[in-house]
Structure 1
Amino acid sequence: MRFQDRAVLVTGGGSGIGQQVCHAAAREGARVAVGDLDLARAQATAEEIRRNGGEAHAIEVDVADPASAARFVEAAEAALGRLDVLVNSAGIREIVSVLDLPFEEWQRVIGVNLTGTFLTSQAFARRLVAQGRPGQIVNLASTLGLMAAPKRAAYTASKHGVVGLTRQMALELGDKGIRVNAVAPGVVRTPLTERYFQDPAYAQMIRDIHALGRWAEPDEIARAILFLASEENGFITGAVLTVDGGWTAGKRM
C-alpha cells in the first residue's frame, strides 16, 4: 500500500473532500490526523476509520488562527509519531456580488482558504525542516483558481492565491525535500455545494458545463490528491492538477 505507516494530516477532514481523503489514505495504510473546526465531525470520521481497522485521531483546528494551526501539527505529530503528508482541504465560500460583498465576509473566506493554507503549511514545513525530513503538501485549489465565476470574488481570489502559494512553496521548499502541489476540482457534490443540486435546472447547468456531462464525487478528488502525495510521483512539485471533468477545456457553442 502506498501510504503504509505514513502520517497523513488532513484539514477539513470532517466532511466533503477532506473526509474522503482521510478514508482513502487510511485504506492505503496511512495513520491519519483528522483536523476540523467542528471537533464532533472530526471525531465521527476518525471513529469510522477505526471501525474499519485503520488508525485515526481527531484534532480540533481553526486553520485561520496561527496558534491553532501550529497546535494541530504538534498534536498530530505527537499522536502519529511522525509527519509525512499534509492535505489542506479546509475551505469555505460566499455567494454574493462583488458590489455587495461585506468586508468581514471577504476576510473570513480569505482567512480560511488562503491564510489557513499558508499557516498550516508553514507549521508543517517548519517541523520537517527542523528534523531534516522530506514530506508532501497537497493544497485544495479550484477551477476558480484558474478562472472566474459570478458572485465568488473572495473565493476566486483565495483560490488564485492558493495556486500562487503552491508554486511559491514548491520553489522554496524543494531543495529541502518537500514537494508542494495542488488539485483544482470542478464542481464536486459535498455538503458545501449540496444546495446546488436541489434545483433541477441548476443541476442540469452543472452537467452542461462539464465535458463529461456530470459533476465530481468527493472520492474522485481524494484519489487525485493521494496521487500527488504518493512517493511514486517524486518528481512532481509546483503542479496544479485540474480534475474538472473538462470544465476548463472549453465551451460547447
Structure 2
Amino acid sequence: MRFTDTRVLVTGAGSGIGRATCLAFGKEGAALAAADVDLEAARASLDTLADTGAKAVAVQLDVTRPDSVTAAVDHAVAELGGLDILVNSAGVREIVAFLELDFAEWQRVIATNLSGTFLCSQTVARHMIAQGRGGKIVNLASVAGLVGVPNRAAYVSSKHAVVGLTKEMAMELAEHDIQVNAVAPGVVETGMTAGYFDDPNVVASLRRLHPAGRWAQPEEIANLILFLASAEAHFITGATYPIDGGFMAGKSF
C-alpha cells in the first residue's frame, strides 16, 4: 500500500470528491483526518472505511474561519501524530448571472474556495516544516479555473486564484521539500452537480462538451489526487492537471 505510515488531512470530506479521496487513501493504508463543516457527514465518510482497518478521525472544520482551521489542524495533528499530506477539497459554487450576483454570495464563494485553501495550506505547511519531513499539498481547482464559465463569476474567480496560489506556494515551499499541485476537474457527478442531470438538454450538452462523451465520477478525481500525493510525483510541483474527459482539448462554452 502506497500510503502506509502517512498522515492525511482531507477538507470537504463529507461528500463528493472529498469523500472519495478519503476512501482511496484509507484503502492505501493512510491514517486519515476527514474534515468537514458538517461533522456528521465527515463521520459518514469514515463509515465507508470500516472494512479497511484504517486509522481515521472525523474533524469539524469551517475553512472560512481561521480559528476553526487552527483548531481542526491541531486536532488532526494530535490524533494522527502529525500531517504529511493535505487535500483542499472543500468548495462551494453559485449559479447566478454576473449582473445579479450580490456581494454576500461573492464573499461566501471566495471565502470558502480561495481563503479556505490559503488558511488550511498555511496552517498545515507550518506543521510540515516543523516536522522536517516534507509533505504534499493538493488543491482542488477546476476547468473553471482555466477558462470562463457563464453565471459563475465568483466560482471562476476563486478557481483561477487557486491555480495561481498553487504556483506561488510551490515556489516558496520547495525549499522545505513540500510539493504543491492542483487538479482541475471538469463536470463530476456529485451532490453539487446533481441538478445538471435532471435536464435531458443539459445532459446532451455536457456529453458534447466532453470528447469522452461522459462526465467524471469522484473516484476518478481521487485517483489523480493520490498520484500527486505519492512518492512517484516527488518532482512535480506548481502544476495544475485538467482531468476533464478532453474538455480542455478544444471544447468551450
- TM-score normalised according to structure 1 size: 0.98
Aligned partner of 1:162 in structure 2 is: 162
Tell me the CA shift for residue 130 of structure 1.
2.1
State the secondary structure of the residue aligned to 2:170: helix
Partner of residue 140, structure 1: 140
Structure 2 spans left out of the alignment, 5+ residues? none
Q: Secondary structure at the match of 2:49?
A: helix
Deviation at 1:48, TM superposition (A): 2.5
Aligned residue identity for 1:10: V
Please report how far the alpha carbon of residue 249 of structure 1 lies from its aligned counterpart in structure 2 after TM superposition.
0.5
Distance of 2:246 and 2:47 partners within structure 1: 36
Once residues 251 and 106 of structure 2 are traced to their aligned partners in structure 1, the CA distance between those partners, rounded to angstroms, is 30
Once the two structures are superposed, residues 54-91 of structure 1 have per-residue CA deviations (whole angstroms, 9 ceiling, x without a partner) of 22110000001111111111111111112110000000
Change (3 A) 1:131 1:52: closer
| Contact 2:82-2:131 at 8 Å conserved across structures | no
Identity rate of aligned residues, in percent? 56
CA-to-aligned-CA distance 1:200-226 (integer Å, 9 cap, x gap):
111111111001010000000000001
Letter in 1 for 2:219: D
Q: For the Cα contact (< 8 Å) 1:47–1:56, is it kept in 2?
A: no
Please name the residue that 1:152 is paired with. Answer: 152
Q: Tell me, yes or no, if the aligned pair for 1:50 and 1:56 is still in contact at 8 Å.
A: no
Aligned to 2:63: 63
CA distance in 2, matches of 1:53, 1:18: 19
Matching of residues 34-113 of structure 1 within 5 Å: 34-113=34-113
Aligned twin of 2:33:
33
- My pick for the range that moved more, 72-81 or 165-174, is 72-81
- After TM superposition, the structure 1 = structure 2 runs for residues 213-228 of structure 1, keeping only pairs within 5 Å, are 213-228=213-228
Counterpart code for 2:194: E
Q: Which moved more, 1:130-139 or 1:167-176?
A: 130-139
CA distance in 2, matches of 1:251, 1:100: 27
**Residue 17 in structure 1 maps to residue 17 in structure 2:** yes
Whether the 8 Å CA contact 2:26–2:52 is kept in 1: the answer is: no
Kindly state the Cα deviation for residue 45 of structure 1 after the two structures are TM-superposed. 1.1
Matched, 1:244 2:251: no
Q: Residue type matched to 2:71 in 1? A: R
Q: Which runs of 5+ in 1 are unaligned?
A: none
Helix, strand or coil at the partner of 1:192: helix
Matched residues, number: 252
Q: What do you get for the CA RMSD once the two structures are aligned?
A: 1.0
Closer, same or farther: CA 27–209 of 1 in aligned 2, 3 Å: same
User: Which structure 1 residue ranges, 4+ long, deviate > 6 Å from structure 2?
Assistant: none
- 8 Å contact 1:12–1:89 — kept in the other structure? yes
User: Which amino acid is the alignment partner of residue 69 of structure 1?
Assistant: V
| C-alpha separation in 1, matches of 2:131 and 2:106 | 37
Counterpart in 1 of 2:212? 212
Inter-partner Cα distance in structure 1 for 2:215 and 2:193? 11
Going from structure 1 to structure 2, the CA distance change for 1:45 and 1:251 (only over 3 Å counts) comes to closer
Partner deviation per Cα, 1:6-39 (whole Å, 9 max, x = no partner): 1110000010000000000000000110000000
With the length of structure 2 as denominator, give the TM-score of the two structures: 0.98
